[in-house]
Amino acid sequence: MSGPSPSNGNGPRRPDPGADDEFARAYADGYGEGLREAFREVLGHAARGHTVQELRMLIESRLARLREDVDLKRRSLTGPPRQPSWSALLRPPSPVPLAPPAARPAPGERLFPVLVPGESYLFREERPARASAFVAANAAAFPRVVVASFRPPDLAAVGPERLTVLRVGPGGGGPSSPTELSGRLRAAMEGPGGALVYLDVFEMMATEHGVDPMLRFVAWATQSAQSTGSTVVLSVDPKGVDDRTMSLLKRSFAGLV
């Protein structure tokens, strides 16, 4: 008895081996890209000096949101892109020209932009060093300085009567959500003379609570700074956020460093 003959259009259609290979390649490529993204994120957190306990908390929070992230990715691939309803709150950037970070400043040349109350500054750096130095150099211009950080920088020269430190993270006792953080900042920023606000917790809080809530928080903080004469200084590791997030962050800041 001879074997089954290929379909002539009237019988059952045989599976196309080429389609299976294409599916396998697409699946493997997506799997590989997912692994690369996960390792890049872990390396980004490690580069900022987090402890093993903090890394474990960040990774567990990310795993808890994995199903939501996968569903969001699926919707972005199968539907047209949508503009977030709060995009109008993000004001266009007015970058402050600076010398390249790797270049040594010439005599009389400023390493940082001149701080203007009401404007806010985004520092793109692996470790929050230049941002904290910028805050220390300009703290005297404000009646209040507020720091929200895993490891707050040394700002002892500011004086305890003017300095408020919010320790964000495991056991820190600080704000645990973007909403709570905005509540803690509001009184200081709306006080006479405004406040100088330093933040280096964007990546951690975005991992725990979502990127979009943190982008909304940053938009609120920078607009509040504009209306109260305050200044927000945010340090973000470029390797710790994706291109879309960085692009949206830039729109909220007058100074890009």
32/213 Cα distance (integer angstroms): 28
CA distance 80 to 76: 7
Burial 18-56 (b: 16+ CB within 10 A, else e): eeeeeeeeeeeeeeeeeeeeeeebeebbeebebeeebee
Q: Which of 41-45, 217-221, 247-251 has the lowest mean pLDDT?
A: 41-45
pTM as predicted: 0.60
CA-wise closest residue to 131 among 230, 34, 197: 197
Helix (H, G, I), strand (E, B) or coil at 111: coil
Question: Can you give the pLDDT at residue 102?
Answer: 36
Reported residue count of the chain is 257
pLDDT in tens, 173-194: 778 789 999 999 999 999 999 9
* Band of pLDDT at residue 47, cut at 50, 70 and 90: low
